[in-house]
Structure 1
Amino acid sequence: MSVPMTVQVVTPAGVVYDHHANFVLAKTTGGEIGILAHHIPLIAPLTIDEIKVRRIDSDTHVDWIAVNGGVLEVRNNFVTIVADSAERERDIDVSRAERAKRRAEREIEEAKATENVDQLRRAEVALHRAINRINVSKHL
């Protein structure tokens, strides 16, 4: 059995996730990265995407966390993810995420109609976040 890593996801609201794992998969701005025990020290910016954590108790026990960007740090078998917001799959309010998706789609249409580039960019990010939360919730 491999040496476990500690994985923590932290937001301004506090610790969202704290468990031991054998494997972590995350999407950085440079692409996907898989992390195993004894990974070299690393700091990488994250995109809006899901984090996959394979827990130590079973190869089939996988946790999913929706992360809205942030920073991943790996050091001494400790993986820390600092994000503005993050939610575990079991904590996602799907109806709220669906409403946020519809609202963002309306804002995108409005921004295109008025040629408001700033509003369009914000709405596209909001849409990406909502879709990410919906997708992560489906892992349950």
Structure 2
Amino acid sequence: MAEDNDHIITVRIVTPDGVVYDHHARLLVVNAIDGELGIMANHEPIIAPLKIAEVRVERIDGPTHENHIAVNGGFMEFSNNVASIVADSAERQRNIDLSRAQRAKERAEKAIAAANAKHDTDQVKRASVALQRAVNRIQVKQK
């Protein structure tokens, strides 16, 4: 059994609202600013800023048991076989309301169009982030 624990990591995702995810895994895949990272047990310690993207966790309780989490930026720290992700918001695939995410996407697209018409670059940037978040949630839900 001790040998099995040598290949296990703990994955925790925390937002200002509390813990969103806390499980043991064999593999964690995150999308860092510099590219995709796969983290397994005994990986070198690392801190990486994250994109608005999916986090994928291959759980230890089955070779095909994966969890998908929509993470809206933040950062990941990995050391001593514990991956801690801190994000402004994160949502597990099973908790995503697809129709709500699609409405958020439509609102963001309209906001981008309106901001472009007014040449308001700050509003375009804010609405573009909202669009990225909505698209991320939609993609994670549809996995």
Structure 1 residue matching 2:70: 3-state secondary structure: strand
Does residue 59 of structure 2 align to residue 45 of structure 1? no
- Number of paired residues? 139
After TM superposition, the runs of 4+ consecutive aligned structure 1 residues lying more than 3 A away are: none
For residue 100 of structure 1, the aligned residue among 101, 104, 113 is 104
Looking at structure 1, the residues matched to 90 and 24 of structure 2 have their Cα atoms a distance apart, in angstroms, of 18
* 1:55-94 CA distance string (max 9 Å, x none): 0011100000000000100010000000000000000011
Matched letter for residue 87 of structure 2 = A
Q: Report what 1:20 is aligned to.
A: 24
Superposition map of 1:8-87 within 5 A: 8-87=12-91
Structure 2 residue matching 1:84: 3-state secondary structure: coil
Matched letter for residue 112 of structure 1 = N
Looking at structure 1, the residues matched to 75 and 121 of structure 2 have their Cα atoms a distance apart, in angstroms, of 27
Task: Give the % identical residues.
Answer: 55
Q: Report what 1:128 is aligned to.
A: 132
Shift of 1:3: 1.9
Looking at structure 1, the residues matched to 63 and 30 of structure 2 have their Cα atoms a distance apart, in angstroms, of 17
Looking at structure 2, the residues matched to 48 and 80 of structure 1 have their Cα atoms a distance apart, in angstroms, of 16
Matched letter for residue 43 of structure 2 = H
Matched letter for residue 113 of structure 2 = E
Looking at structure 2, the residues matched to 9 and 57 of structure 1 have their Cα atoms a distance apart, in angstroms, of 19
> Could you state the TM-score of these two structures normalised by the residue count of structure 1?
0.97
- Unaligned 5+ runs, structure 1: none
Looking at structure 2, the residues matched to 121 and 110 of structure 1 have their Cα atoms a distance apart, in angstroms, of 12
> Could you state the TM-score of these two structures normalised by the residue count of structure 2?
0.95
